[in-house]
Amino acid sequence: MRRLYLTLGAPASGKSHFIKSHEIQYYAVSSDDLRQKLGGFHYGVDSIGDIINMGYQSNNERMVWDTLWNIVERRMKQGLSTIVDSTLLYKGAFKNPNKLRKKYNYQVYVLDFMKGLFKGDYSQSQIDQVIQKLKIRNMERDFPVPDATIEDYVNRYVNFGRNVPGWAKVVDMSEHTDRVKAFALNKTPNMEQFDRLQIIGDVHADYDALMKVFDSHKPGTAYIFVGDYLDRGTKTIETFDFITQELQGKNLFFCEGNHEDGWRKWHQAREKHGQFARLSLPKLLDHYGEDKLDEIISDFTKRTVDYMIFDYYGRTFYVSHAGFEPGIAECDGTWAGLEQRDTFVYGLGNKGNRDYRNAPYARNIDKAWDEYPYISKNDINVHGHRNTFNEFVRDNSYNLTADGKFRWITVTKDGITPHEIDRIDVPTFEEQLEMEPHINRREVDDGIVANNFDRHVFYTNEWNHLNTKARGLFTRNDEIVGRGFNKFFVVDQDVNDSVDTSLDSLEYPVWIMKKHDGFLGIVFYDNEKDKIRVYSKAGSDTYSPLAEQVLKDTGYYTKIQNYYSKEQNRDTTLLFEIIDPAKDIHVIKYHHKHAYPLAIVSNDTNGIVVNLTDSSNCHWENAEFQKMTTRIDEKDFIAYAHNKAELVDSLKIFQKNHPTREGVVLYGKNKMLKIKFPFYLKAKELRAALDNDGKKTWYYGAENWYKKCKARGITQFTPDLALDLYKEDLKAKNDE
């Protein structure tokens, strides 16, 4: 939340006491605290000769105030609500707040702790009474100030301290109702003056889709945007000009999205941030020039808000970019005015995610809103941002963003109507890959680019329709020329609320296949250059040649040549698990080189495993496709399950007979999942511990193995070491 609270009052008027008693000191920057930290205390001797603390040293005042406003600005730059705990009773007290509130578009509240003491009476007798009251309070403080200081600051308040600028809202802290309102969320008043509301999801420079909303414009309509106006789409200038210049009037409301952070950072400090810097800023600068763009962003930012709450014909609407947490909306958001801006713009994530900014992508806010017991069915949550979840309407929560879709809702006194159309101004597939911040792109040969998601998404679970495809995805000129599997997960892995990894989520029949412990070899036919390509997932200069050599040494390269001699097979990729125990040591023990054929995948965005599709598929018409499919089955096939019971039984039998394998892959009709066996997980954990001289947390029980290795002076992992330790455990168990 962009709120700046300034305490106003003489010493002992209750400013710091209020902050501490309500446990909001974590939002506060205190001048007294800085005096103590920068200068320490001033000591003296009492009447009986004891050394006592007389209060804060005051010989660092310039540094105290410079430091205080530097901290405040740093917080405001991040959109954090901040309380400045000082008297505010000095000349020029509003100079810095005025400058910063303009720069960062903040609301300013002056918390007046003196007004209630005077009760409108500023006669000399009342002044004397207030002074006497504060002197009594002062004596009860840990560090009382001299009586003369109390007198001085009370007179300052009477003489000039009540002259608060019009841009700040004064709060009488003696009035409970005013105090509560100051720290609660604001409601947008009188929305029922409009006949209908159009609440519009993430725009993302899709100007033509946005125009579909305005095609039905008529007087009496209000337009509410949830943010994310630019980036990703192709019509940057048209969208920016329409949003910031053409749309004017009291019927327009603009929430900020996370993509507007790029606007703010460029405007405030010329910092280039995120997709805005890469995709939109160059176009805007070229079109408007720096000064004009700065002016437009400045004017538009003054019109934006972090959220909207309003009543409309019996319903209360909570509108924000990332969605309202139900716990904040409950009780009208008491103290929620202190909530950080990111809560509304980025959203909160589930416990356990490592990156708080992106963890919200893994949290289904619509489900949370729906299931929260204290939310009324007339409380309506409306948001964009969380495009991991494509469900549009969930009871009384509306998600206005989805991959490839443009969404908005029409609200009238009669109800809510959702609208969804395909996005119009969309970039090419390769342009989308370039835009995705967490896809690494590496050019390999002849214009072919290897696309792979980075490790960031592992920590944040920020999976989407693009980065799940970018796993050994090879493109050229907007064409997929070869590819690996789509990203698939371990059974019962905690991914996010939109991804079900349970066995129950599989559609039958399910093929159970062996999982090997090597690296992925990706083989496809380069139609443009009329040759076979062999790569590792990243197109590595080391592992790609190794994969090709292993395929040749094992006799598979000739089979690959035969396969691609049929032109109808050249729209597919052959996937192999490549194993060379001499040059690429993994966890599982292998004695020789192997090239295990895993799957035949279609060279398109779907990445269908073609060898497991219906036999009516056109590829089945040629013998080489059938031969390669047979080889996959001979090497990898374990069982074919018609239902969950058959699946579970087959898994138990295979694991019992092969406990030291890596695991299995499950190919359902709707998805792939994998299971890794306990031995493999434990051995892999041991390897990591030996490589890093231990671990803080043990997940798979390898701590005892690690202790044995340390006791025996073993510092290097080998597959034989893991097998020996496993056999020791087995023998000990049998001896029991």
CATH number at residue 624: 3.30.470.30
Write down the pLDDT at residue 254: 98
Query: Mean pLDDT lowest for which of 44-58, 529-543, 649-663?
Result: 44-58
| Tokens 């963003």 belong to residue | 401
Write down the pLDDT at residue 358: 47
Report DSSP state, residue 493. -
Q: Domain for residue 320, yes or no?
A: yes
- Are 529 and 512 contacting, i.e. CB atoms less than 8 angstroms apart? no
Phi-psi region of 618 (alpha: psi -120 to 50; beta: other; left: phi over 0): alpha
Cα angle: 657, vertex 660, 666; to 5 degrees: 75
Q: Domain for residue 341, yes or no?
A: yes
User: In CATH, what number is assigned to the domain containing residue 403?
Assistant: 3.60.21.10
Domain that holds residue 388: 191-422
Residues facing 483 on adjacent strands: 473
Tell me: do 71 and 218 sit in the same domain: no
Judged by DSSP in three states, 663 sits in strand
Q: Is the pLDDT of residue 353 over 80?
A: no
Tell me: do 170 and 23 sit in the same domain: yes
The alpha-helical segments, DSSP class H, found in 572-718 are 623-636, 644-657, 678-691, 703-711
Q: Percentage of residues in the chain with pLDDT exceeding 70?
A: 95
User: In CATH, what number is assigned to the domain containing residue 64?
Assistant: 3.40.50.300
Judged by DSSP in three states, 34 sits in helix
Report DSSP state, residue 473. E
From residue 317, alpha-carbon distances to 302, 307, 320, 379, 415 in Å are: 22, 10, 10, 6, 12
Given 422, 439, 454, which residue is the final one in a domain? 422
Mean pLDDT of the chain: 92
Tell me: do 106 and 197 sit in the same domain: no
Residues facing 641 on adjacent strands: 510
Q: Domain for residue 323, yes or no?
A: yes
Tell me: do 564 and 633 sit in the same domain: yes
Tell me: do 158 and 78 sit in the same domain: yes
Given 176, 204, 223, which residue is the final one in a domain? 176
Tell me: do 663 and 682 sit in the same domain: no
Residues whose CB falls within 8 Å of the CB of residue 15, separated by 6 or more in sequence, listed in order: 7, 9, 85, 87, 111, 113
Q: How many residues does the chain have?
A: 736
Q: Domain for residue 431, yes or no?
A: no
Tell me: do 497 and 357 sit in the same domain: no
Judged by DSSP in three states, 468 sits in coil
Q: How many CA atoms lie less than 13 Å away from 388 in the CB half-sphere?
A: 26
Tell me: do 649 and 505 sit in the same domain: yes
Write down the pLDDT at residue 623: 93
Q: Domain for residue 77, yes or no?
A: yes
Q: Supply the pTM of this predicted model.
A: 0.81
Tell me: do 519 and 557 sit in the same domain: yes
- Are 460 and 327 contacting, i.e. CB atoms less than 8 angstroms apart? no
Q: Which helix (H) or strand (E) holds 597?
A: strand 594-602
Q: Domain for residue 468, yes or no?
A: no
Q: Which two tokens stand for residue 158?
A: 């009477």
Q: Residue 120: exposed, middle, or buried by beta-carbon count in 10 A (0-12, 13-18, 19+)?
A: exposed
Given 676, 692, 709, which residue is the final one in a domain? 676
Q: Domain for residue 182, yes or no?
A: no
Tell me: do 9 and 76 sit in the same domain: yes
Tell me: do 234 and 335 sit in the same domain: yes
Total count of domains within the chain: 4
| pLDDT range class, residue 57, cuts 50, 70, 90 | low
* More confidently predicted of 370 and 360: 370
Tell me: do 147 and 227 sit in the same domain: no
Write down the pLDDT at residue 574: 98
Q: Domain for residue 429, yes or no?
A: no
